[in-house]
Amino acid sequence: MAKQVVRRRGQRQVEDVKGNRGPADLDVLQSLVTEMLLALGEKPGRNGLLKTPERVAKAFAFMTQGYHRDIDHLLNGALFPIEYDEMVIVKDIDFFSMCEHHLLPFYGRVHVGYLPNKKVVGLSKIPRIVDVFARRLQVQERLTVQIAETLKSKLNAHGVGVVVEARHLCMMMRGVEKQNTIAVSSSMLGVFRSQPQTRVEFLKLIRRGSVSDSD
Ligand SMILES: [Zn+2]
C-alpha cells in the first residue's frame, strides 16, 4: 500500500511542468494517516478514529496553505506612495507554524518594523504576509528571514527588522521537555543592520508588553 501511495504522489509531481506544487493531495494524505495509525499499533477502524485520516489531511492542508499563496497577489493594490520617513511598527502578530523536523507546531508572536522609502503597505497585509510563510513546514530562523526579506524587497524599504518569539512543542512535549522556553530569532536588514540607533529604537518599541516580558 505504501508503494502505491508513493507512486501516485510521484506521478502528480511529474505532471506539474511549471515546478509549482499544487494544492495538498487530500486522498494521499488520508491514506498515509491511516498507515501511520496502523504503524503506531492503532486500529484505524475503531469508532474514534474513523474520520481521523480525513480530519488530519484537512488540518495539514490548512496548516501548509502558505505554499500556494502568492505575495504579489496579496499585496496587489495595498502599496501606497507616501512621504513618511518614520519607523512603522506592527507588533504582537500571533502566528502558528509547523516545525519541519518533527511536524509539530511552534507558535508565538512576530514583531515587524520598517523604515519606508516613499512607499508603505496596508497595515493589515503584514499579518497576512506572516501567515504566508508561517503556514508551511518551517524552522523559526527561516521564517524570520523570509518575512524580513519579503518586506524589504516588496517595499524597497530603507530597512526592515523582524523579531520572532516562539514556543516549540517539539521542545515542550519531547526532547528537552522545557515548557517555558521561548526561542527568539531576529533578522535586521538595511539601516536596521547598519545603524545601531535604528535597531535600538525598534527593539525598544517592540519590547513594551511583549510576550517575553516578565512584568
Ligand atoms: Zn522540531
Distance 193 CA to ligand 1 centre (A): 29
Candidates 4, 13, 100, 141; catalytic one: 100
Distance 172 CA to ligand 1 centre (A): 10
Res 26: pLDDT: 95
Active site residue 11: no
Distance 105 CA to ligand 1 centre (A): 8
C-alpha cell at 107: 507558535
Active site residue 111: no
Candidates 30, 111, 158, 168; catalytic one: 168
Active site residue 170: yes
Distance 101 CA to ligand 1 centre (A): 5
Res 196: pLDDT: 96
Distance 131 CA to ligand 1 centre (A): 19
Tell me the DSSP string of 8-47: HHHHHHHH-TT----S--HHHHHHHHHHHHHHTT--TTSG
Taking only the tens of pLDDT, the chain with its 215 residues reads: 444 444 444 444 433 444 556 788 999 999 999 999 999 999 999 999 999 999 999 999 999 999 999 999 999 989 999 888 899 999 999 999 999 999 999 999 999 999 999 999 999 999 999 999 999 999 999 999 999 999 999 999 999 999 999 999 999 988 777 778 899 999 999 999 999 999 999 999 998 755 554 44
Res 21: pLDDT: 61
What residues have CB less than 8 Å from 86, skipping those under 6 apart?
115
List, in sequence order, every beta strand (DSSP E) within the chain.
79-81, 88-99, 105-115, 119-121, 137-138, 159-168, 183-190
Active site residue 168: yes
Instruction: Extract long-range pairs of 205-214: CB within 8 Å, 24+ residues apart.
Output: 205/87, 205/89, 205/91, 205/113, 206/89, 206/91, 206/111, 206/113, 206/163, 209/92, 210/91, 210/92, 210/109, 210/111, 210/165, 211/92, 211/108, 211/109, 211/165, 211/182, 212/165, 212/182, 212/184
**Nearest of 197, 110, 115 to residue 159 by alpha carbon:** 115
Distance 133 CA to ligand 1 centre (A): 17
Distance 198 CA to ligand 1 centre (A): 33
Active site residue 73: no
Res 84: pLDDT: 84
Q: Cβ(111)–Cβ(210) under 8 Å?
A: yes
C-alpha cell at 35: 498507515
